[in-house]
Chains A and B, each alone.
Chain A
């Protein structure tokens, strides 16, 4: 390459980077001030007992927490992901924070009703566009503010169908036998470092139970909001779909702009029984931090579902645009014969964000099928990594997997990486993996511009086309939101 060309390219990217650095659009970055009850920073057995007491939990739940905590102490913080971060000081976080309400301080959270929502909190959710008052929206919402669930809408309607949709803490009180039966069955407390931590200090989360033969008429959704500085959010979500049922579940999240890293270590367990289908969609828009991603959310999430019964289906769809560091591998254990696992993902990193995300497909049952479509977009100085495992056990006669990982680089300061692990132990299985890397070609841009489309729109078009296969899997409103998010996150990435 000639020197002139080099300088030309440098200036071109300089421009891009300048524009990128101006891009501070994190409209969800406001802070809510309200009376809160926050635990002192620090983590020890007393804190765990206090969390449990606060939630008025039965003995078995406390035992589960303590067992997990004891195990967590023997573990080492994992640093194998392709992301660089300083070891976290777990004593510098608070492990419980909740808006104060009369009911809470008396330790009877379970009786909390919509009337008791702190107006400030309600305002925050209204600003985020989350319908927590159960207005005439087409979706049931569980809104989680720091450590607790503040409101769950449309419960009565759903209850008529036998669907249980409530916060995790309520479920522990009201449906202990169900929680006990499923808690830790998909993600055991000793699964990994962050799962152990979550099991020990689990704050709140959502509990969904779809009874046999019921199709949930509306989408169920949870919105996570971290508000307090220096707190960790450790929600635990359990979703059970009984025989022949169907549910579409959505998850969204955001956090205010802070200057220190906040920790989010969630665990999601999904159990899909015979002939049931679960669609699990996530739009992750945690605060990514400032230009250097200082102060963003550290998103260390363990999501796993098991297709327990025959012909069951679990589909993960995710649009990841936020967080300073993402460490997340939604997985499917395909145990039932003919069960299907799907993973559709768009991950966008900008500035200095680091995402190490992907999936695991464990084929155990006969004729199990899985599809992985992963689209990674890197811009700025970010690193975007796909890491996935496809394992075909010897018992998985006739299993089938198709994996496609496409990466797009926007600018020459970013990185796109693909680390697939493929383990095949059955000869009748058919496993395919493809990966490509590309960028937005100058000729593509030129073509669009020639037809009167501005450069910005052209990029948006190309990127949306690149991600289309995944967006088409998202529920309609979510797909729109994801597209908009992508546009905002990419705004100004080319001059």
Chain B
């Protein structure tokens, strides 16, 4: 008893304890990693996966006791063990309905594997643009460096560790100096097998003064309206935006109702670069989209928006971590959620302004509309500021539809139900307005509206 304080300190658990269900899930994924390693003869890749496996077995899946996972429960998720198998055979006709209305260079990933037959011919891309599959890169041990960016942050995310542990495929996009890619690059990620994991590791490098637009779409191809269909998508993307470069990104997640989606994007921006991203979330039982943005130069601009609609029992989580490290950075965020039924929306945003980042302008807005009394919104807009000459603010508002607005429209002869629909739609689509390419903007709006209006 005399050494109470020291004993309380030491009792901090070094070895985490897991429930039998979680433990079983962890062992399952560790086994998948071992299987991958057995089939591979590249030492670098094997050791990378093994290192991640060790870390994963130690840290495991997060629980609601973890500060960052308090609102996003994984109790259902760990009950299913997702398999990892090869590419299933589907035809272009199968995915036709997922393809965009605008011209684009198409890359198709099926169940986490690059599909050469469904993708456009990548050998005839415009000058300065190269796209390779990660699987191909892994074949050549010397090119490993190309794949592996600054790893430290990935290791802090449980699903990042899982991703490295199951490292298999993804795409690698490089746009060389001064190249402007006219056509958007459309990446379709389609789940086709029930209880299967799509493990994607993407890497995007936009070199100095280059510009590109990437649209990523996550969908499920469910056989005969199988309502029980559940696939797991786990993505890690590392994005480097070079000096004076501009990168536009749209991520559309519309997977099957019982699927899972976890994404971690690590973005590194150099001086005077512009990064513009929108996340549109409508699918999956539990989804979590995370941006980790480092603004490592002067005069950087970034826009991070999200538009999420959740109904039923969905948990929709979108989070951003924005680090201003140099002077004159501008970051802008608008996150909008519409929640119906018993859906849970989660937003977590952090703007961190380092001591050196004077004259920062950081703005973060989160607005939420609750359509049902059993819906729930948990939000944490945070600021951590170490520089004094900055303009930083965040705002968050949660409420229901303004009755005055409905009345205004009704007074003009619009039926109530339609008025509510109009207002809700207008509310949800605001973040889409920041998309530069009008055709992509229209396409995203259509997806959101369709989902909203059932």
| A interface residue numbers (CB < 8 A to B) | 1, 42-44, 73, 75-77, 80, 87-91, 394, 407, 409-439
Contacts and interface: CB of A to CB of B under 8 A. Distances in A.
Q: Is the interface of B mostly helix, strand, loop or mixed?
A: mixed
A416 B387 CA distance: 9
28 contacts: A1-B358, A42-B2, A73-B4, A76-B8, A77-B8, A80-B67, A89-B5, A90-B4, A91-B3, A91-B5, A407-B385, A409-B390, A412-B355, A412-B388, A415-B385, A417-B382, A417-B384, A425-B375, A425-B376, A430-B398, A431-B398, A432-B396, A432-B397, A433-B397, A435-B393, A435-B394, A437-B383, A437-B391
Contacts of A424: 368, 370, 376-379, 398
B376 A76 contact: no
B12 interface: yes
Interface of B: 1-6, 8-9, 11-12, 67, 71, 327, 355, 358, 368, 370-400
A76 B1 CA distance: 14
Contacts of B380: 419-422
Contact of B398 (A90, A418, A429, A437): A429
Contact of A427 (B4, B371, B388): B371
Contacts of B9: 76-77, 87
A435 B383 contact: yes
Contact of B4 (A91, A394, A429, A438): A91
B373 A427 contact: yes
B377 A420 contact: no
Contacts of A42: 2
A44 B396 contact: no
B37 to A, nearest CB: 38
What 5 A-B pairs come out closest when comparing CB atoms? A427-B370, A409-B388, A433-B396, A430-B399, A418-B383
A433 B399 CA distance: 12
B413 to A, nearest CB: 27
B104 to A, nearest CB: 38
Contacts of A409: 385, 387-388, 390
A431 B382 CA distance: 16
Given A412-B388, A422-B377, A438-B391, A429 B358 contact: no
A99 B341 CA distance: 63
B343 to A, nearest CB: 11
Contact of A437 (B6, B67, B392, B399): B392
B64 to A, nearest CB: 13
A15 to B, nearest CB: 15
B340 to A, nearest CB: 10
Contacts of B358: 1, 412
Contacts of B377: 422-425
A72 to B, nearest CB: 9
B375 A427 contact: yes
A348 B186 CA distance: 52
A420 B381 CA distance: 6
Contacts, number: 140
A192 to B, nearest CB: 14
Nearest to A422: B379
A416 B382 CA distance: 11
A430 B386 CA distance: 32
A271 to B, nearest CB: 29
Given A44-B1, A433-B381, A428 B373 contact: yes
A74 to B, nearest CB: 9
B385 A422 contact: no
Nearest to A428: B400
Contacts of B373: 394, 426-428
Nearest to A440: B388
Given A91-B3, A417-B383, A427-B370, 5 more contacts: A76-B11, A421-B379, A432-B395, A435-B393, A436-B392
Question: Which of B6, B368, B381: most chain A CB closer than 10 A?
Answer: B381
Given A429-B399, A431-B399, A76 B12 contact: yes
Contacts of A426: 370, 373
A409 B8 CA distance: 37
Nearest to A42: B2
B393 A427 contact: no
A91 B398 contact: no
A87 B12 CA distance: 13
Contacts of A437: 383, 385, 390-393
B314 to A, nearest CB: 15
A431 B4 contact: no
A1 B398 CA distance: 40
Contacts of B385: 407, 409, 415-417, 437
Contacts of B11: 76
A413 B354 CA distance: 10
A412 B414 CA distance: 55
B376 A422 contact: no
A419 B348 CA distance: 10
B399 A419 contact: no
A414 B371 CA distance: 42
Contacts of A428: 373, 400
Contacts of B355: 412-413
Question: Which of B368, B373, B381, B388: most chain A CB closer than 10 A?
Answer: B388
A374 to B, nearest CB: 12
Contacts of B375: 425, 427
Contacts of A431: 396-399
A429 B355 CA distance: 38
Contacts of A419: 380, 382
A149 to B, nearest CB: 28
Contacts of A89: 5-6
Contacts of A436: 392-393
Contacts of A412: 355, 358, 387-389
B410 to A, nearest CB: 20
A73 B7 CA distance: 10
B381 A90 contact: no
A270 B125 CA distance: 70
A87 to B, nearest CB: 5
A265 B386 CA distance: 29
Contact of B388 (A76, A88, A411, A429): A411
A327 B393 CA distance: 24
Contacts of A420: 380-382, 396
Nearest to A45: B1
A195 to B, nearest CB: 16
Question: Which of A90, A428, A435: most chain B CB closer than 10 A?
Answer: A435
Given A423-B377, A423-B378, A414 B4 contact: no
Nearest to B372: A427
Contacts of A44: 1-2
Nearest to B382: A419
A402 to B, nearest CB: 10
Nearest to B13: A76
A258 B373 CA distance: 54
A429 B387 CA distance: 35
A91 B395 contact: no
B7 to A, nearest CB: 9
A76 B6 CA distance: 10
Contacts of B378: 421-424
Nearest to A389: B380
A422 B393 CA distance: 16
Nearest to B376: A425
Nearest to B375: A427
Nearest to A437: B392
Contacts of B8: 73, 75-77, 87
